[in-house]
Amino acid sequence: MSDALPSREAIVAAAQQSIARGSKSFAAASTLFDRRARERAWLLYAWCRACDDIADGQDHGHGMTVIHDAPERLARITALTEAALAGQVVGDPAFDALRIVAAETRMPHAFARDLIAGFALDARDWRPRTEADLYKYCYHVAGVVGCMMAVAMGVDPDDRETLDRACDLGMAFQLANIARDIEEDDRVGRAYVPEDWFVEMDIPPGQHMRPPFRPRLAVLARRLAERAAAFEASARVGTPKLSFRSAWAVLSAAEIYGAIGREVAERGERAWDNRVTTSGWQKVKFIARAARAARGRARLYPPAPRDIAWVRPNR
């Protein structure tokens, strides 16, 4: 007799453990959702985290290493994801998590494939040359996750306007991450600051972490933080479309990640001496501030045209 298949409850429990290990910030924000949205957020996170770990040789986002078998890793991610999207029981809790959340929410399969396309960019050692290239990368590794998370919260997959705002929040998170992780990425041979920006600042290729160029690099980090802030502001306009608890969670995450970008900008050339994080006390403060903003979201974030020139792919 074959073993019983893992229950939804067991897969949700595994997903909760994954987010607790992989991201204290997202774990804290997720507790603000109602139960259904919270579980679906955990399930989606577990799949995203597993894909990222496979692609980068990490353990829940820690210990990124130089990868020598990127095509094989990408093929594995693709095969397991396609099986999950087809409704097959995969046998891996993270990919079965995707199977469950996709089935329960009518999540467009193109979103999952767009995220995998981001891993494909890294697999071929792709680097952005222009600011437009930077946004392309941010969409594929984070903006589309914002769209998926919105659907997990109950946003209609056909509500393009709200999904655009959700995408903007993912873009903001990734831009802040890139600014914070410039040194960590450099250690494994990656660079996500556009090459055109390095040329503009007269930073020789591959030399941006050397001490003589730190002040110039700090200028670019501030630019990334400013771009992140613009996307974050755009994302906030979408929160009146969400329930109070979902808006609270989204605004809490925005506060936490917005603080990371601002801290990188404020530290200047010392931004990479140690990793920028937010403390437990800061998270409590941000969550409390977000609660007030969520209650007043209709007044604070009235409908307004989206004023960012970049637009996500039409899905």
3-state secondary structure the chain: CCCCCCCHHHHHHHHHHHHHHHCHHHHHHHCCCCHHHHHHHHHHHHHHHHHHHHHHCCECCECCCCCCCHHHHHHHHHHHHHHHHCCCCCCCHHHHHHHHHHHHHCCCHHHHHHHHHHHHHHHCCCCCCCHHHHHHHHHHHHHHHHHHHHHHHCCCCCCHHHHHHHHHHHHHHHHHHHHHCHHHHHHCCCCCCCHHHHHHCCCCCCCCCCHHHHHHHHHHHHHHHHHHHHHHHHHHCCHHHCCHHHHHHHHHHHHHHHHHHHHHHHHHHHCCCCCCCCCHHHHHHHHHHHHHHHHCHHHHCCCCCCCCCCCCCCC
pLDDT band of residue 26 (cuts 50, 70, 90) is confident
16-20, 58-62, 82-86, 214-218: least confidently modelled range: 58-62
User: What is the per-residue pLDDT for 63?
Assistant: 56
Distance CA 208, CA 191 (A): 10
Q: Is the pTM of this model over 0.75?
A: yes
How large is the average pLDDT for residues 134-161? 97
- pLDDT score of 29 more than 90: no
pLDDT band of residue 246 (cuts 50, 70, 90) is very high
User: What is the per-residue pLDDT for 129?
Assistant: 98
How large is the average pLDDT for residues 267-289? 94
pLDDT band of residue 265 (cuts 50, 70, 90) is very high
How large is the average pLDDT for residues 157-169? 97
Distance CA 210, CA 214 (A): 7
Distance CA 315, CA 313 (A): 6
Residue 59 has phi, psi (to 5 degrees) of -125, 100
Q: What is the mean pLDDT of the chain?
A: 93
How large is the average pLDDT for residues 72-85? 97
Contact 278, 286 (CB under 8 A): yes
How large is the average pLDDT for residues 186-191? 90
Q: What ranges do the domains of the chain cover?
A: 8-300
User: What is the per-residue pLDDT for 1?
Assistant: 37
User: What is the per-residue pLDDT for 2?
Assistant: 46
pLDDT band of residue 3 (cuts 50, 70, 90) is low
How large is the average pLDDT for residues 160-168? 97
- pLDDT score of 276 more than 70: yes
3-17, 76-90, 207-221: least confidently modelled range: 3-17
pLDDT (tens digit, 9 = 90+) per residue, 247-264? 999 999 999 999 999 999
User: What is the per-residue pLDDT for 188?
Assistant: 85
Contact 53, 47 (CB under 8 A): no
Q: Could you tell me the fold of the domain covering 8-300?
A: Farnesyl Diphosphate Synthase (1.10.600)
